[in-house]
Structures are given as structure tokens and as C-alpha cells.
Amino acid sequence: VPQATVLLIERLGRFSRVATSGLNIIIPFLDKPRGVFWTNVRPGLTSIDLREQYLDLPPQPVITRDNVTIHVDSVVYWQITDPIRAVYEMNDVVGGLVQMTITGMRAVMGEMDLDHTLSSRDQINSKLRLILDEATDKWGVKVTRVDVKNINPPEDVRLTMEKQMTAERNRRALVLQAEGDKQAAITRAEGEKQASVTRSEGEKQSAILQAEGAAQARLRSAEAEAEAIARVAEGTAQARLRNAQAEAEAIGRISQKMIGHGNPAQYLITARYIESLKEMTNSKNSKVIFMPIETSSLLSGVGAIKELLSETGGPSPTQDGDDNSPPLPRPRQLPT
């Protein structure tokens, strides 16, 4: 007997023993191997294969819960664990396994709609294996695995599904494009915002710098102007001080010369008065000058001053002297 193969020996038509791999002796005419008549197995085959085998089922029509007829083909992997029960409990183990697979597949997929059926192959395989393994256990057969190979919907349903898938892909593409446009718009808006903030900050800093520069320029201009004013005022003050000093010195000299010859204050008042009259007569807008009542006395005072200067040897009011005393103006007849 070959390896992984057994023979069921019957003696006078009754089961006697199991001939395992190796040398076995049978009695002619009394012992005879039992033949099997299974689907897809050569009729009358006496050896039973104990290895794992597969059964490829042709496509079978199955109606889903939403009344869509689909064609499903599958593969069943099985193995004989008890050859005695496989032969004496079931007359056609292979045929029974095929029918059990078809009915179990229809039962499982009939509880699902088309979309669920197409997306739940692992769940279908697990349920089918449990159903077949439980049903074939009493036959001495173990179902190790069930695989659904293809699920083929009708042509019109397939076209509809393709259109639906195309529409779904287009929708997803539009959603992704819209999402991309949204993100791009957000990113662009954020960039513009940042650019605007940066530009505003730059303008702000520029305005601050310009204002600071203008303030510095104004401050320097004000400082320069103040310094110039101070220098002008200082120069003016010094000039006035020198004029005042010169005038004081002249008054002092006149006072010394006029000691015993008259009032120096009266002399100064008369000189100032004559200068004022001279300026008034030189003005373009002056036409007539009204002389006060004291004109004769002032003129007489001027004559007295002339005589005083002549006696002391000083210069006449019309000539330049060595000292700094101011010259006396020449009296003239003025209109009254």
C-alpha cells in the first residue's frame, strides 16, 4: 500500500480491517479491498488518499438580499480523517461536499446585499468553512479552508457599478480639488496677511524713522537758530554796551568842559532835540514842522554853548574835534 493511502479490507463482504501503507497480506477469495464510487474519482478505486485535497467548484448562481443574481466560484480544501466513516457513513463524500458548499454559499450570501458581498469575502470564507466543517465531521472529513475566487454580477449591474464607481471617483476628485483649492486659498490669504502685516510694520518703522529724522533736523535747526540768535543778541548787546560806554564817556567829557558854563543836561537835551528835528525834516512825508514856544530859548542855549566852546579853545559845533563829543547841528530857519 503506498504512503498516505489506505485500503479497507472486507472479509466475505464485511469490514475486516484497514490496510495501511506498507506490506499487507490478504487471503484470496476471503479478503477483498472495498472500492469507492465518488464524484470526480475513478469508479471502483480501492485506495483512499489521506492527503489534503482541493475541490474547484464551477460558478454557481446566487441571489443576494437585494435580489441581484451573481455567479460565484470557489475552492474547498478538505481532508479525510477517518476512512471508515468516509466510506460507510456517506456513499459519495465528494458529491456531498460539493452540494453542501453550494447550499452554504447561497445561505451566507443570501443574507447580504451586493455591496456587502463584494467587500466581505473574508467573512464569507469563514462562515462557509464553519458550516462545512460542522456538517462533514460525521463523514470523517475535515474542511480546512474555503476560498471564494470570483463574484461576477450581471452585465447591466456591472455597468451600473462602473458608472457609480466613476461618479464616486469624480466626486472624490472634485472634493480633493475643492479641498486643495481651499487650502491654497487659506495659504494664499495667510501669505497676504503676513505680507500686509510686514508691509505695515515696515511703513510704521519708516514713518517712525522719518519722524525721528525730522525731529532731529528741527531740533538741530532750532539749536542753530537759538545759537545764532544768542550770538546776534550778544553782538547787539556788546554794540549797545560800547555805544553806551562811548556816549557815557562823551557825556563825561562834556560835563567836565561845561563846569561853570551852564547845565550839561540842558545841552544834551538840546542836541537830541535838534537831531530829532533833522530826522523829521529829512523824511519824505514831512511837509510842515511846528516849532515849540521854547525855540528861541533853545537857540540861545545853543549860542551859549558855542561861546563856551570858543573860550575854552574847543572845536566849534560845526568842526570835528579830537575828542569823541558829538557835533552840534547848525541852526537854521525852519518854517512855522
Q: Other CB atoms closer than 10 Å to residue 161's CB: what's the count?
A: 14
Domain membership of residue 116 (yes or no) is yes
Q: Which of 93, 87, 90, 80 is nearest to 15 (CA)?
A: 87
* Residues in Cβ contact with 19 at an 8 Å cutoff, skipping those fewer than 6 apart: 1, 6, 7, 8, 9, 26, 33
Residue 32 has pLDDT above 80, yes or no: yes
Q: For 273-311, what is each residue's pLDDT tens digit?
A: 777 776 666 666 555 554 554 554 555 555 555 554 555
* pLDDT computed for residue 316 by the predictor: 44
Residue 323 has pLDDT above 50, yes or no: no
Domain membership of residue 246 (yes or no) is no
Long-range contacts of 310-319 (CB under 8 A, 24+ apart): 311/261, 312/257, 312/261, 314/257
* Distance from chain centroid for Cα 141: 68
Give the Cα separation of 145 and 95 in Å (integer): 17
Mean pLDDT in residue range 62-69: 90
Indicate the SS3 state at residue 44.
coil
Rg of the chain over Cα atoms, rounded to whole angstroms, equals: 71
Residue 97 has pLDDT above 90, yes or no: yes
Domain total in the chain:
2
E strand spans, the chain: 5-11, 14-19, 31-33, 47-49, 53-56, 60-63, 69-80, 141-152
Q: For 134-150, what is each residue's pLDDT tens digit?
A: 999 999 999 999 999 99
Domain boundary residue, one of 153, 171, 199: 153
Residue 70 has pLDDT above 50, yes or no: yes
Domain membership of residue 172 (yes or no) is no
Give the Cα separation of 93 and 91 in Å (integer): 6
Domain boundary residue, one of 128, 153, 178: 153
Domain boundary residue, one of 153, 173, 190: 153
Q: Which of 312, 216, 220 is nearest to 262 (CA)?
A: 312
Range of the domain at 303: 261-336
Domain membership of residue 268 (yes or no) is yes
Q: For 172-206, what is each residue's pLDDT tens digit?
A: 999 999 999 999 999 999 998 999 898 888 989 88
* pLDDT computed for residue 296 by the predictor: 47
Domain membership of residue 239 (yes or no) is no
Write the CATH number for 135: 3.30.479.30
Q: Is 157 exposed, middle or buried (0-12, 13-18, 19+ CB in 10 A)?
A: middle
Domain membership of residue 29 (yes or no) is no
Domain membership of residue 135 (yes or no) is yes
* Residues in Cβ contact with 138 at an 8 Å cutoff, skipping those fewer than 6 apart: 85, 89
Domain membership of residue 11 (yes or no) is no
